[in-house]
Structure 1
Amino acid sequence: MKSSHRITVYEHQALYVGRGEPSLTQKQLEALQSFHGEGLPYYSLIHNGVKFCEYVGVLQIGNTVIEILPKADKATGNSSTEATKWRDLLIGMLRAVGGFKIESPSHSSLRIRHNSILDLYVALFLTEAETLLHQGLTKQYRQTEGNSTSLKGSLQFGKHLQQNLTHQERFYVRHNIYDKIHSLNQVLHKTLRLLNRINTNADLHSRIGALLLNFPEMPDVAVSDAFFERITYTRKTESYRTAIEIARLLLLNYHPDVRKGQNYVLALLFNMNLLWEQFVLASLKKHKPEDITLDSQVKRDFWKPERGNKSQLRPDIVINADKMYCLVLDTKWKNRNGYSPQSDDLQQMYAYLSYYNADRAILIYPGNTNEMQEGTFYDTQGKLSDKTCSLISIPINPDISEWQKSIARQCLFII
């Protein structure tokens, strides 16, 4: 197991070489610089450092683990208490939108969550793999061909003559085998081999080694988005679903360093703006009355050029679309701190009101206190119209369940 250097930062925070706390080494900066041009949109390069953006989670480059946490207030400092608060919040939000397939915060895998969200995903995968191995890995039929001392299946006559002209005791045949070598088990084994190379958590090292020791050897398998999309589950293989979902996340976000072989990248990062949108949507779905409809990303055609693709409007959430008391909601992961919203946001909300024939538009922010502010748009004659936009700030609550209830109360009481 390799030792690691761990750094905890917050979204939109910068890291510099030899400056500030935490800071980067020159080698760490060079590793980040070398991968900046490889399609990783998680940070930008600045003078003698990097600046992170709206992505949160874990970025591991070689033996350096950078944990990027969300933060929606102006509190300063990187104390362990502050980091724990936002790490727990991120885990709770991911759990609420389905990022973690766990039912309770007391789940044994959560004991290591103080290290990083990457360790939590690894621990969850190991728990699933251990369960599957204990229950017995499933077997499936697969087709194979080669020389055999007995005639079984179908004789491949051309290859038989080519290889066995002087070996009359052998037959080149194609036949089915019922064993554990199939794509699901191959993915699990491939993920365990990857974790054995990159894991830096001492608490997980022995579990990875024990699984590899007891797992049957598997041929390697090439994975891609298309590969995972083709996977189907049956009654016998449904128990693999969670492990395969985590394996997909780990394998597809691993970028090997083909030049030096040392500074590989594993990026388990989530767009915080999108996560906030999904979290608000999940909260509303969980607590909405039955007579209210809820839709996300409802598209309306907006503009058609002479050539090329048309433009569309697509608000985050629409309540009671095409019905009475239609509301259009847009989520913004930023603390307003009493300031007015940006003009672009208001113009966007005005367009939503018109194109969705909505009664009201709502901008939803995280905040420090419950706050609701009403605003009215002017019409083309310079007079106040009947089109309104509400600004709702909802205080962050470490109790995720209570936070979701608060979001639903604030957003749905207007109807």
Structure 2
Amino acid sequence: MTSVIEIVEHAPAVGVALPDAVGRALAAAGVLEAAPDPYAPGRWSLRAGSKVGAVAVGVPGADETFTVRIIPKTPITRLFFLLGYSLDPKGPWRDGEVEVAEHRDLLPALAHAVERQVDQALRRGLLQGYRATEESALVVRGRVREAEQIRRRFGATLPVEVTYDEFTTDIAENRLLRAAVERLLRLPGVPRDVRRRLLHQRARLADVAVVVRGQPLPDWRLTRLNARYHTALSLARVVLENASAEHACGGLRIDGFLFDMNKLFEDFVTVALRETLTGSGRAARLQDAHYLDEAAAVRMRPDFVLYGADGAPAAVVDAKYKAEKRGGFPEADLYQMLAYCTALGLPEGHLVYAKGNASYDAHRVRHAGILIHQHALDLDQQPAGLLADIAAVARHMVPDLRV
């Protein structure tokens, strides 16, 4: 039996009936905030933060599974635009080629998008390439590994330790696609029709080796030959790296897919600003390391630092996707930006939020003269409007910018 619990991202806490072991496992895994109700044994208060997606918790010794779905406030189509643009600003996301509108929840939409992109990538057949292979053989093929032959064979003629380049479909790109398909097939909440299509894609990739869980993912780089795989590979990495949750807490197994909206918003804002400022004669660096103190003991990493032609910092930005306080933006963010501006020697700093209770604001710090801008992006609008708002932030940073 499966019990489904739906919670909205950053919504007020809800009380649900849960076994204590399940509640503790959810809290320990960092899926959401979970606390037992002191006045009602067997009930837990659950509150979702910035992580969205779905996880399933199985109860040992009982035929019962609890599935928790955390629904994002941002519409799914807009969420996928943010995700896709941060992965590849030149990709198909802006034009709506990655279709997810029929799905309300993140995981079904992601599984659908991955399957469609894998199908499109494999439409002309599996990509082939050369892969270095080392093996023991009865005939010489390629090059003899002389040192290995002496070490392992002690002068014997056969078998021969050889290395050669094999032209095969078992290459990094196909391994990543298969690993993503396998991972999605294990996750809760994938619709039946999407699961059926994923099984078909797995059959097409049957001759490709399975990536062993826990091992590093195969490296690949974009080339002219694998260009048709690019979008599918970008989504595969999202599945395999950015948002997988698989834990064993208190004897319970938690398996699912969680995506951190904090990171998604930060990635989108910084990548979009970098794209907007391309060609302005300035260089942008993301998560660039600096030090607050003269002894270089306190490290700080602003989300985005813009450098002028002389190599000196020209602007600093921090992206903040989080619930705003009832009266406006949190003061702690102002203190953080003040520290950035002071350490970088800048007269102005920029905080960029997802729009909520407050719109644009600015504060000039007493006795320092530093001006801190607070911008708010409306994530509910169409991509063109969202990118126009990013351009407006860029013009605050570089007044003579023409975009």
Q: Same fold (TM over 0.5)?
A: yes
Match of 1:103 in 2: 93
Residues 409 and 292 of structure 1: CA distance in aligned 2, closer, same or farther (over 3 Å):
farther
CA distance in 1, matches of 2:250, 2:347: 59
Alignment pair present for 1:45 and 2:34: yes
Distance 2:150 2:375 in 1: 75
1:312 paired to 2:314: no
**Alpha carbons of structure 1 residues 133 and 405: separation in structure 2 relative to 1, 3 Å:** closer
Please state if 1:34 is matched with 2:17: no
CA contact (8 A) 1:361 1:390 kept: yes
Q: Is the 8 A contact 2:21 2:250 kept in 1?
A: no
Secondary structure in structure 2 of the residue aligned to 1:378: coil
Which residue in 2 is equivalent to 1:79?
none
What SS is found at the alignment partner of 2:100? helix
For structure 2, the 5+ residue unaligned runs are 37-43, 58-64
Q: Is the 8 A contact 1:254 1:264 kept in 2?
A: no
The residue aligned with 1:120 is: 109
Separation in structure 1 between the aligned mates of residue 114 and residue 377 of structure 2, nearest angstrom: 34
Among 268, 291, 310, which residue is 1:301 paired with? 291
1:347 paired with 2:324, answer no
Using the TM superposition, give the Cα deviation of residue 275 of structure 1 relative to its aligned residue in structure 2, in angstroms: 3.0
After superposition, the CA RMSD in angstroms is 4.3
Opposite residue 315 of structure 1, the aligned amino acid is: P
Partner of 1:400: 383
Is the Cα contact below 8 Å between 2:324 and 2:357 reproduced in 1? no
Paired with 1:134 and 1:278, the residues of 2 have a C-alpha distance of: 31
Distance 1:131 1:17, change over 3 A: same
1:90 counterpart (79, 101, 104): 79
Equivalent residue, structure 1, for 2:133:
143
Q: How many angstroms does 1:262 deviate by?
A: 8.3
Call closer, same or farther: CA 1:355–1:393 in 2, change over 3 Å: same
Q: 1:205 maps to which residue? A: 195
The structural deviation recorded for 1:245 is 3.7
Find 2:56's aligned residue among 58, 61, 68.
61
Asked if the contact 2:315/2:348 (under 8 Å) is kept, the reply is: yes
2:206 counterpart of 1:216:
yes
Q: How does 1:2-401 map to 2 (within 5 A)?
A: 5=4, 7-11=6-10, 13-18=12-17, 26=18, 30-31=21-22, 33-34=24-25, 36-37=27-28, 40-47=29-36, 48-55=44-51, 57-61=52-56, 65-71=67-73, 86-98=75-87, 102-104=92-94, 106-107=96-97, 109-114=99-104, 116-137=105-126, 138-141=128-131, 143=133, 145=135, 151=139, 153=141, 172=159, 178-198=167-187, 200-224=190-214, 226-228=216-218, 230-232=219-221, 235-252=224-241, 254=244, 263-272=253-262, 274-288=263-277, 290-291=279-280, 293=282, 295=284, 296-303=286-293, 310-319=297-306, 321=308, 326-334=314-322, 336=324, 339=327, 341-367=329-355, 371-379=359-367, 385-401=368-384
Letter in 1 for 2:8: V
- How far apart in 1 are the matches of 2:101 and 2:184? 19
Normalising by structure 2, we get a TM-score of: 0.72
Residue 61 of structure 1, CA deviation: 1.6
Label 1:394 to 1:189 Cα distance change in 2 as closer, same or farther (>3 A).
Answer: closer
Deviation at 1:201, TM superposition (A): 0.6
- The residue number in structure 2 matching 1:412 is 395
- Counterpart amino acid of residue 299 in structure 2: Q
Paired amino acid for 2:48: F
Please, what TM-score do these two structures have when normalized by structure 1?
0.70
**Per-residue CA distance 1:272-317 (angstroms, 9 max, x = gap):** 2x33333333343344484463634344322366xxx711343333
Per the TM alignment, residue 207 of structure 1 is displaced from its structure 2 partner at its CA by 0.9
Give the direction of change, closer, same or farther, for the CA distance of 1:107–1:261 in structure 2 (3 Å limit): farther
Q: Deviations over 1:251-273 (max 9, x none)?
A: 4554556799984412331242x
Contact 1:8 1:66 survives alignment (8 Å): yes
* Distance of 1:195 and 1:88 partners within structure 2: 20
Distance 1:388 1:157 in 2: 71
Residue pair 1:69, 1:90 contacting (<8 A) in 2 also: no
| Distance of aligned partners of 1:393 and 1:265 in 2 relative to their CA distance in 1, 3 Å threshold | same
What is the aligned-residue identity percentage? 16
Question: Contact conserved, 1:281 with 1:317, CA < 8 A, in 2?
Answer: yes
Change (3 A) 1:266 1:388: same
Q: Distance in 2 between matches of 1:145 and 1:410?
A: 57
Inter-partner Cα distance in structure 2 for 1:259 and 1:356? 43
Q: Is the 8 A contact 1:294 1:317 kept in 2?
A: no
- State the distance in 2 between where 1:179 and 1:320 align: 45
With 46-55 and 332-341 compared, the bigger mean Cα shift is at 332-341
Between structure 1 and structure 2, the one with the greater Rg is: 1
